[in-house]
Structure 1
Amino acid sequence: MPCFIYFIHFLIFPSLSYADEEGLLTRQNYQTERVCHFPESEERPFFIDIPSGPPPRSILLDTVVEPPDAKLEIANVRSNNLAQEQIHDWLSLEKRPNGQFLLFSNDIISQTSSTTTSVNSSLKLPAYPSSINESLLYVTVRCNGRLYPLLTVRLLTHNLHAPEWWIHGIRVADDSVAGEISIPKNSKTFGSLFDTQLLALDQEPAEHYPITFSVDPPLNKYFSIELGNRSSLPINEQRIGMNNNYLHKYYLNY
């Protein structure tokens, strides 16, 4: 009889231990597999435009996650045209107990001399001039073990040199660019070109920062723009005093 009782106890105790372990695994799986919701992005995904090189620790996103106790972290940051090793540590995430979390840019500390350091923003495009004048950053977060594409950041370069406007060989201010074209009454104008004598000059490289023109509605139904021949420009480049390699030269015709 004692042997029989010992045998029963031997069978029961391992069974109870297995049940406890199974319950623990179930609770852990429940915690990691709960679906996360980002209420403020359900109607419209998060998309923001920011200029290159914002102040260090700039807040890009301030929002909430449900459930509030979700385990949240940045999974990865990808770009359409920047190297992964350049951007992998650009962003940080800070979560609070009520479900609110912040996404902000990291500080980049550089040694400018043996005694001096500088703090700069991580969100910075390659130095000017560069073929990259904007970049899309795709931010994916891991929430309770699942991946969620959360945010797209469009990083834009600064326009370092605004175009200069010239009419009939005279430079004019941006807010006073105006001109008149006289078209004879009852003349056959369909398909004709009309010289505007309007010229735009830009010091930034044309191949990377092109100037574009368009006609606003409803006039775009009747007029289009054709760029003039460089050789017909009425302005002396030496008198303008700009480097020919950094000029956009357009002669407009309607």
Structure 2
Amino acid sequence: MALRTLSLRIHLRTLLLTALLTLALPLLVDAQQACLFPESDDGHPILVNVTEGALVGSIVVESTFEPADAELLIASINSGNLAQEEYRERFELQTTAKGQFVIRTRKPLSLPPYPSIVEETFLYINLLCNGQQYSVITVRVQSVNDHAPWFYGQIPYRIGVKESAPLGTTFETPILALDWDPAQQYGVTFAIESGNEDGTFELEAAKDIVHNPNALPIEFTGHWTTEQLPPVLRMKLVKPLDYDYGKRKYSLIISAT
């Protein structure tokens, strides 16, 4: 009788240990993997706004996570409208022992230049916390119109004008300026700032002739629409020339805005 009782107790104890292990193991695993991001309310991502050109090392996001000892990394960064761009290497994540983390820029942050028309993009940052991915941060990168147009070609530009040219004659010039900021259409305007005090010349953009996209500077790649191609800039003679008693050479200062 004593032997049977001993055998029964051992069996029950074995079953009890097995049940406890079976219950405890999943709970322990879940506790290690589950992460919380308190500032991401109801599962909605944290939205932050950043302008392109942010300095390297700028703080983009500063927030908290739980548990404080979780392993937190950037898993991936995806753009909604710039899938071909690689943004993962432009950010870095740092954590502290108190369950805080910051995401900084580690490379220049920019949008594709003209002729791109993308003036903003949303970056969806997926974090890897204890082996699980969480989509808790969205960064909106916006373009700022802070690029002044650049002149291209052989500078200073030179054109020849015959003294006998009648008033109203227009001459095609090699003047070319491009703005790097994304835009739907070409918007650079030109003005003669000095050297034309007597009003001999006027500038006008051709309405029917544009520059060949294959001949534009190699820095500008992508698909050009007709509206984005820079028009040929013309010089119009509005006062008669007199090479005998007047100027034989005009040095014009031209601006592009």
TM-score after normalising by structure 2: 0.49
Q: TM (normalized to structure 1)?
A: 0.49
Task: Identify the structure with the greater helix proportion.
Answer: 1
